[in-house]
Amino acid sequence: MNDTLHLMTVYSKTTARAWFQYRVDAVLRSLAVFARESTGIIVIYFTLLKFNSLNGWNIYELLFLYSLIFLTYGIMIIFFTGLRDFGNMVREGSFDRFVLRPRGILFQIIFVNSDWFAAIGHGGLGITLFLISAGKVGVHWNIYNALYYLFAVIGGVLIQGAVFLFIATLNIYLIETGSIKELLYWNVRKFAGYPISIFNKGVQFLMIYIMPYAFVNYFPAQFLLRKEDMSQYPEIYLYLTPIVGVGMYLLAYAFWLYSLKYYKSSGN
């Protein structure tokens, strides 16, 4: 265990030094990610200045909803950058190096790299949106709500990490999964920035039962905000985010372990 923790520390320090060796460039790139992701928020803000609310959600409640998406992604990408870029490893043959080393393969992939620019940009935006909105949405921040929020964030990180792990595993069979990632993660994730109640039943089913991004931010936000549109969903959904996160990750991990038996090098 001590050896594993030491190796995690070494990996993390090496990765951080590599990403921040040019400090000015690192700051500018992180700010660029922050600014890029902020554009969508700005559009929504000016839209709601005219329409006041979206299905009963005011601008601060929507910012609170968005804050969970950005914060959980910012944390998630620290650990799962290797899975996001796993397709490149398979195509270039560099994944073979991990297979031959006397360490857990997934352990190496998780700790060998972290996209700190995305982590700071997304995470910083999530924290900013939370600070702007948390005091204006009527939430009483006691210990109970704070603990719920913490476990909801952990669950949201695991849900998105499980999606990355599942898509990464598909590279073992398909080599190229860029389109699948675009469809299952990036495109579906765009819906999660809004209350799912505004969408048709098909999209709601997708967001709850197929690619459950609703458990990343919508249901955790509903636990704290208790908006009227929650009445169309079972109340138990408010408490399931950590369970969904752990369950999805275990299923994705089982799929990963099973699929490794069928890996064949693509060469270099």
Q: Is 267 a domain residue?
A: no
Range of the domain at 96: 2-260
Arithmetic mean of pLDDT, 144-154: 96
The answer, yes or no, to whether residue 181 has pLDDT greater than 70, is yes
Arithmetic mean of pLDDT, 146-159: 96
Which residues make beta-bridge pairs with 54? 57
List, as own/partner pairs, every contact residues 98-101 make where C-beta atoms lie below 8 angstroms and the sequence separation is at least 24, other chains included: 99/263
Domain count, the chain: 1
pLDDT tens digits along 64-103: 999 999 999 999 998 888 888 888 888 877 788 878 777 7
Count CB-CB contacts under 10 A for residue 90: 21
> In terms of Cα–Cα distance, which of 214, 176, 168 is closest to 194?
214
Task: Categorise residue 197: left if φ over 0, alpha if ψ from -120 to 50, beta otherwise.
Answer: alpha
Average pLDDT, the chain: 87
Q: Is 268 a domain residue?
A: no
DSSP 199: S
* pLDDT confidence tier of residue 27, bands split at 50, 70 and 90: confident
pLDDT-above-90 percentage for the chain: 48
**pLDDT given for residue 21 in this prediction:** 75
**pLDDT given for residue 189 in this prediction:** 84
* pLDDT confidence tier of residue 42, bands split at 50, 70 and 90: confident
pLDDT tens digits along 127-144: 999 999 999 998 889 999
How far apart CA 63 and CA 39 sit, in angstroms, is 13
Q: Which residues contact 260 (CB under 8 A, 6 or more apart)?
A: 105, 172
The answer, yes or no, to whether residue 149 has pLDDT greater than 60, is yes
pLDDT tens digits along 204-245: 999 999 999 999 999 999 999 999 999 999 999 999 999 999
Q: Is 74 a domain residue?
A: yes
pTM above 0.85, yes or no: yes
Q: Is 222 exposed, middle or buried (0-12, 13-18, 19+ CB in 10 A)?
A: buried
